[in-house]
């Protein structure tokens, strides 16, 4: 027999023996039942978060406590935009679909998902013009009584689509020229940022139709130091950060917005040293402890999208910084698979990852969020990985990493939102 044939037969025999040692054949495995729909507990655990996937067109529900991926919601084209009511066991996802995948006839819908099964149960067609953005912060809003959803449209004309979530129908489109985005400020009111530095307050009636619009005086200078759209809510206040590190608090508890005195995230020395907010989702608030979290980095002009290297904690009562936490890399993945190194090389993967994160400005933490319970977790992620890092949100202690299964991590949302209301 030729030598090559003997070598081939020997190789096949080795593979067959390896497969025999690996375990039972498919014929020995029990048949997997089909047609079953698993459910998860409701209400959700306070340490569950939704993490959007920019490439996978979905958002994944993650248990930060034990690292499990509990399920996913489809989101159509673009980064997921979800709404989480407190009074109904539902989740609302704003979706865009094209008849040919990335082209063809466009349709936009608000899809209603059941929280226990994560299965779609209804959908509401909306005008096919909702804004699509790399960072869809403040693109959708839920009224404080969970009755209406407002979806920001950009064609480039700006408007809001209003959906009645109780009757599950599209109600109206509200034009708002010169203003963009949407922030909930009550049961029948929404606010938008305007190009001259002012706010537009929109009032609805009980059917969801417009009954009034009012423009405020400018509260920031859009030419010298504009605010970012990535504001954080604290009771009846919205905290708008400027690119130069100033917080502009706006109190919406009354019939008209009250613009409180601004305060700075940085000292003059820190500002001179280039410390700035950055990333795609750079503020978070823990209501119970009155703590603001800001994702910070050192960079020059126009570096506001640069990932952060630290998170700074602030007491919102005193408006003073209480802690600086140096971040670790949230973990690396390849096609959604974690690169961990195991017990032998895990320390080396972490060591390399931390140094790469601090050495290369475009790799690092892009988004932060905080859970809302009495033992809150600060959760961080990066756009180019499916890894998530978890910290004790009261002490800043690093707890560990979990993985979402996503190709990328774009936007983090807590799965158990706080009930809006005055402080």
Q: Does the pLDDT value for residue 334 go beyond 50?
A: yes
pLDDT for 214 equals: 95
Q: Positive or negative, the Cα torsion across 355, 356, 360, 366?
A: negative
How far, CA to CA in Å, does 24 sit from each of 17, 27, 29, 84? 12, 8, 7, 44
Burial environment of residue 136 by CB neighbours within 10 A (0 to 12, 13 to 18, 19 or more): buried
Residue 359: pLDDT over 90: no
Q: How many CB atoms lie within 10 A of CB 50?
A: 25
- 367-384 residue pLDDT tens: 999 999 999 999 999 887
Does 236 have pLDDT greater than 90?
yes
Query: Residue 361: what pLDDT?
Result: 58
Task: Tell me the helices (H) and strands (E) count for the chain, helix number first.
Answer: 3, 32
CA distance 129 to 198: 24
Higher pLDDT pick, 346 / 194: 194
Q: What is the pLDDT of residue 79?
A: 82
Q: What is the mean pLDDT of the chain?
A: 87
Q: Can you tell me the mean pLDDT for 228-246? A: 95
Residue 107 pLDDT > 90, yes or no? yes
What is the per-residue pLDDT for 422?
A: 44
- Position 423 scores a pLDDT of 40
Residue 194 is predicted with a pLDDT of 97
State residue 363's pLDDT score: 65
> Domains in the chain, ordered, with CATH?
54-78+230-423 (2.130.10.10), 80-132+138-222 (2.130.10.10)
pLDDT digits (tens, 9 = 90+) for 115-162: 999 999 999 999 999 998 887 889 999 999 999 999 999 999 999 999
pTM: 0.87
Report how far residue 89's alpha carbon sits from residue 66's, in angstroms, rounded to the nearest whole number.
23
Residue 333 has pLDDT above 90, yes or no: no
Question: Tokens 């929280």 label which residue?
Answer: 115
**What residues pair up with 311 in beta bridges, in sequence order?**
295, 325
Sign, CA dihedral 11-17-19-21, equals negative
Q: What percent of the chain has pLDDT over 90?
A: 63
Give 208: exposed, middle or buried? Use CB within 10 Å, 0-12, 13-18, 19+.
buried
For residue range 405-420, what is the model confidence (pLDDT) as tens digits? 888 888 899 987 665 5
């Amino acid at each position: 027999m030729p030598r090559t044939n003997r070598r081939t037969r020997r190789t096949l025999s080795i593979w067959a023996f390896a497969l025999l040692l690996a375990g039972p054949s498919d014929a020995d495995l029990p048949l997997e039942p089909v047609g079953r729909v698993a459910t998860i507990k409701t209400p959700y655990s306070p340490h569950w978060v939704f993490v959007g996937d920019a490439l996978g067109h979905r958002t994944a529900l993650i248990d930060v406590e034990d690292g499990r991926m509990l399920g996913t919601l489809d989101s159509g084209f673009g980064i997921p935009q979800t709404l989480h009511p407190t009074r109904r066991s539902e989740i609302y996802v704003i979706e865009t679909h094209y008849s040919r995948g990335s082209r063809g006839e466009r349709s936009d819908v608000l899809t209603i998902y059941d929280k226990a099964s994560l299965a779609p149960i209804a959908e509401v067609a909306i005008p096919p013009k909702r804004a699509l953005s790399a960072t869809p912060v403040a693109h959708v809003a839920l009224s404080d009584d969970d009755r209406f959803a407002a979806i920001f449209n950009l064609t480039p004309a700006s408007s809001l689509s209003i959906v009645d979530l109780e009757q599950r129908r599209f109600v109206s489109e509200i034009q708002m020229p010169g203003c963009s985005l949407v922030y909930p400020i009550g049961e029948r009111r929404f606010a938008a940022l305007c190009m001259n530095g002012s706010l537009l307050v929109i009032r609805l009636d009980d059917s969801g139709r417009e009954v009034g619009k009012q423009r405020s005086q400018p509260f920031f200078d859009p030419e010298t130091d504009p605010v970012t759209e990535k504001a954080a809510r604290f009771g009846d206040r919205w905290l708008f950060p400027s690119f130069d590190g100033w917080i502009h608090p706006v109190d919406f508890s009354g019939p008209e917005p009250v613009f409180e005195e601004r305060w700075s995230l940085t000292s003059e020395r820190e500002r001179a040293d280039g410390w700035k907010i950055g990333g795609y989702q750079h503020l978070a608030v823990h209501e119970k402890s009155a703590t603001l979290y800001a994702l910070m980095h050192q960079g020059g002009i126009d570096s506001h999208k640069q990932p952060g290297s630290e998170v700074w904690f602030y007491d919102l009562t005193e408006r003073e910084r209480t802690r600086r936490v140096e971040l670790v890399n949230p973990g690396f993945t390849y096609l959604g698979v974690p690169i961990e190194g195991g017990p032998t090389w895990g320390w080396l993967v972490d060591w390399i990852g931390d140094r790469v994160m601090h050495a290369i400005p475009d790799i690092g933490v892009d988004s932060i969020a905080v859970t809302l319970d009495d033992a809150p977790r600060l959760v961080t992620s990066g756009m180019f990985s499916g890894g998530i890092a978890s910290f004790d949100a009261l002490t800043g202690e690093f707890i560990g990493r979990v993985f979402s299964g996503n190709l990328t991590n774009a936007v983090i949302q807590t799965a158990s939102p706080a009930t809006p209301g005055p402080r």
